[in-house]
């Protein structure tokens, strides 16, 4: 099948790729660009482990076709670090022990980042509502919510 | 799960989308948010030759008021619609159903049009091809039996939109466009009751707009779910009250949302509607809670929704 030319910005890099029309953004990120922060768990849009931020909106990259993001600006967990400093969310996740097996972590952080970008001081209830988009199979939600609260105080 | 091969086309106008559809001789699917379509294609429940992306069509993205109607473009996301002040102020049942839909991230991707046009669901249907092949194909997959109810002559899949029942209580109508032109239908007439083809859409037709009469209502939406996030409704009950008249709509049970009109809202009328809705609901063992419990909750949630709508003075 014919491939398609797609151009988008991922983190600080502008990339142009030839992709399959039925390729998901998750496949492109992981297999063509070696950005393996976004994880595939359910592959059906239920769990949120593959969340990346596309034009400011958190998106399940397993449900997005790469041709759909032509021209978009994409941020993945790899793009959060600035210079040598981790993002406040990443620091807070480490300090609060909000990581158990770690499989949901990058999705959690990207979902929380999109929240903090649109709402600098979310209430605990708002954080819980947002974070409930993602599943942590270790059930470590309490510390994840605490970490997002701590990060919100720092940004 | 890997997607099967298909082509990707992007349309910039409704006419262009319809022309593309015709070009594929009915073997194409319209794509909006993809939160319903992509999993169906991954499970090989849908096998389009091409998907036609509608997100480039500007007129599908607007919310406008005029002539006593609120007109919502089909590609407005559930999240944007929920945060539109007109919705909370005029249509509390719709606000609550939007808020109850899935989770925030999927509300930001999923569209109101896609939510209404979603396929019906069943524990024995929304499975991988291998799973379904081992089990044997049911009516909805083109087989000759129902895998849930032995000896049944029809499909019992559930229509799981949270927002369609709320919109039906608000007497909303759907503006459609397709190869044969445009038409407008009452939303409650969009359902066929046929498991293989649950929506009364013509070949190549797409939803353009949802139109709601712009009148203030009181209302509520009650949803039976296991988790407070992401779940489809196991029962969904919307009620809207305007003056002394009210309308209730039950979703999540069976192929067609059931509508109950109340001429005078009072305790006796609500109780009568709850009893009737309970008696008429026919859930089967195709969702994550037992049919008996879901049936009971139809009546309970209807009364609860009326209490909430009327007491809070919304």
* Separation of alpha carbons B16 and A151, rounded Å: 46
Across the interface, of B10, B105, B228, the residue whose CB is closest to A48 is: B105
Does one domain contain both B40 and B93? no
Q: Do B108 and A45 touch (CB under 8 A)?
A: no
Share of chain A above pLDDT 90, in %: 97
Does one domain contain both B95 and B161? yes
Query: Helix or strand or coil: residue B265?
Result: coil
Inside any domain, residue B180:
yes
CATH number at residue B299: 3.30.465.10
Inside any domain, residue B147:
no
Inside any domain, residue B128:
no
Instruction: Express each pLDDT in B216-243 by its tens digit.
Output: 999 999 999 999 999 999 999 999 999 9
Q: Which of B38, B50, B76, B232 to mutate to test the interface with A (most CBs of A within 10 A)?
A: B38
Residues of A near B (Cβ–Cβ under 8 Å) read: 1-2, 4, 20-24, 27, 43-46, 48, 51, 57-60, 62-65, 67-68, 111, 129-130, 132-134
Question: According to the model, what pLDDT value does residue B1 have?
Answer: 87
* Separation of alpha carbons B71 and B165, rounded Å: 17
Q: What is the mean pLDDT of chain B?
A: 96
Please, are residues A134 and A42 in contact by the beta-carbon 8 Å criterion?
Answer: no
- Mean pLDDT confidence for A65-92: 97
- Mean pLDDT confidence for B41-45: 97
- Mean pLDDT confidence for B189-198: 96
B43 to chain A nearest CA, in Å?
9
Q: Give CA torsion, residues B74, A46, B38, B112, to 10 deg.
A: -10
Inside any domain, residue B126:
no
Does one domain contain both B211 and B242? yes
Does one domain contain both B165 and B49? no
Nearest alpha-carbon partner for A10 in A64, A46, A48, A90: A64
B174 to chain A nearest CA, in Å?
26
Domains of chain A: 4-79 (3.10.20.30), 88-154 (1.10.150.120)
Please, are residues A97 and A143 in contact by the beta-carbon 8 Å criterion?
Answer: yes
Does one domain contain both B40 and B107? no
Residues of B near A (Cβ–Cβ under 8 Å) read: 1-8, 10, 31, 34-35, 38-39, 42, 51, 53, 55, 103-106, 108-109, 228-230
Domain boundary (B17, B32, B54) is at B54
Inside any domain, residue B164:
yes
Q: Which of A5, A22, A40, A116 to mutate to test the interface with B (most CBs of B within 10 A)?
A: A22
Q: Is pLDDT of B268 > 90?
A: yes
CATH number at residue B25: 3.30.43.10
Q: Do A67 and B229 touch (CB under 8 A)?
A: no
Question: By CA distance, what is A114's nearest residue in B?
Answer: B105
Does one domain contain both B178 and B203? yes
Number of domains in chain B: 2
Residues in chain A: 155
Does one domain contain both B44 and B174? no
Question: According to the model, what pLDDT value does residue A155 have?
Answer: 76
Does one domain contain both B106 and B221? yes
Does one domain contain both B67 and B35? no
Instruction: Express each pLDDT in B78-111 by its tens digit.
Output: 999 999 999 999 999 999 999 999 999 999 999 9
Question: B245: which strand partners?
Answer: B242
Structural domain including B271 reads: 61-117+157-311
Number of other residues whose CB lies within 10 A of the CB of residue B6: 22
Inside any domain, residue B137:
no
**Chain centroid, CA B280 distance in Å:** 20
Inside any domain, residue B267:
yes
Which residues in chain A are closer than 8 Å to B31, comparing Cβ atoms?
65, 68
Does one domain contain both B13 and B111? no
Does one domain contain both B11 and B113? no
Across the interface, of A1, A62, A65, the residue whose CB is closest to B5 is: A1
Inside any domain, residue B144:
no
Does one domain contain both B219 and B292? yes
String of DSSP letters for A36-83: -SS--SSSSSSS-TTEEEETTEEEETTSSBGGGGTT-EEE-GGG--BT
Q: Do A59 and B10 touch (CB under 8 A)?
A: no
Across the interface, of B7, B38, B105, the residue whose CB is closest to A58 is: B105
Enumerate residues 6+ apart whose C-beta is below 8 A from B110: B32, B33, B35, B36, B77, B78, B101, B102
Q: Is pLDDT of B312 > 80?
A: no
Cα distances (Å, whole numbers) of residue B164 to A116, B62, B112, B273? 31, 19, 9, 19
User: Which pTM value belongs to this model?
Assistant: 0.96
Instruction: Express each pLDDT in A53-73 by its tens digit.
Output: 999 999 999 999 999 999 999
Question: According to the model, what pLDDT value does residue B236 have?
Answer: 98
Longest CA–CA separation in chain B, Å: 57
Share of chain B above pLDDT 90, in %: 98
Q: Is pLDDT of B36 > 90?
A: yes
Instruction: Express each pLDDT in B102-158 by its tens digit.
Output: 999 999 999 999 999 999 999 999 999 999 999 999 999 999 999 999 999 999 999
Per-residue confidence at A129, pLDDT binned at 50, 70, 90?
A: very high
Q: Is pLDDT of B8 > 90?
A: yes
Tokens 């293989």 label which residue? B196
Across the interface, of A57, A67, A129, the residue whose CB is closest to B108 is: A57
Please, are residues B202 and B224 in contact by the beta-carbon 8 Å criterion?
Answer: no
């Amino acid at each position: 099948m014919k491939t398609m030319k797609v151009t988008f910005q991922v983190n600080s890099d502008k990339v142009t790729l030839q992709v399959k029309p039925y390729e998901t953004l998750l496949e492109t990120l992981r297999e063509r660009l070696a950005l393996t922060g976004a994880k595939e768990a359910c592959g059906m849009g239920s769990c949120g482990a593959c969340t990346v931020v596309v034009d400011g909106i958190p998106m399940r990259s397993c449900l997005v076709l790469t041709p759909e993001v032509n021209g978009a600006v994409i941020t993945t967990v790899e793009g959060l670090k600035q210079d040598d400093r981790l993002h406040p969310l990443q620091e807070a996740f480490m300090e609060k022990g909000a990581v158990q097996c770690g499989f949901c972590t990058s999705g959690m952080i990207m979902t929380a980042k999109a929240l903090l970008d649109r709402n600098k001081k979310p209430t605990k209830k708002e954080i819980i509502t947002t974070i409930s988009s993602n599943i942590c199979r270790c059930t470590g939600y309490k510390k994840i919510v605490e970490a997002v609260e701590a990060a919100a105080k720092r940004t | 799960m890997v997607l099967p091969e298909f082509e990707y086309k992007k349309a910039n106008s409704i006419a262009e989308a319809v022309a593309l559809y015709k070009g594929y001789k009915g073997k194409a699917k319209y794509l909006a948010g993809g939160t319903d379509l992509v999993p169906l294609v991954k499970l090989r429940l849908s096998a389009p030759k091409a998907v036609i992306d509608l997100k480039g069509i500007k007129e599908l993205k607007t919310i406008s008021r005029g002539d006593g109607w609120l007109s919502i473009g089909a590609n407005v996301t559930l999240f944007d619609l929920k945060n539109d002040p007109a919705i909370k102020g005029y249509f509390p049942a719709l606000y609550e159903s939007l808020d109850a839909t899935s989770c925030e991230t999927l509300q930001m991707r999923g569209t109101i049009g896609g939510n209404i046009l979603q396929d019906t669901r069943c524990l024995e249907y929304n499975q991988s091809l291998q799973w379904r092949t081992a089990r044997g194909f049911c009516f909805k997959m083109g087989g000759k039996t129902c895998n849930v109810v032995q000896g049944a002559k029809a499909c019992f899949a559930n229509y799981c939109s949270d927002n369609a029942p709320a919109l039906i209580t608000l007497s909303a109508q759907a503006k459609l466009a397709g190869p044969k032109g445009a038409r407008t239908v009452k939303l409650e007439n969009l359902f066929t009751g046929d498991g293989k083809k649950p929506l009364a859409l013509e070949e190549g037709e797409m939803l353009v707009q949802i139109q709601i009469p712009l009148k203030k209502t009181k209302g509520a939406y009650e949803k039976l779910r296991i988790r407070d996030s992401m779940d489809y409704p196991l029962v969904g009950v919307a009620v809207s009250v305007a003056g002394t008249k009210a309308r209730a709509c039950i979703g999540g049970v069976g192929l067609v949302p059931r509508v109950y009109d109340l001429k005078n809202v009072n305790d006796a009328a609500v109780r009568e509607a709850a009893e009737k809705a309970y008696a008429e609901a026919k859930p089967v063992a195709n969702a994550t809670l037992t049919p008996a419990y879901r049936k009971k909750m139809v009546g309970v949630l209807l009364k609860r929704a009326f209490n909430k709508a009327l007491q809070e003075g919304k």
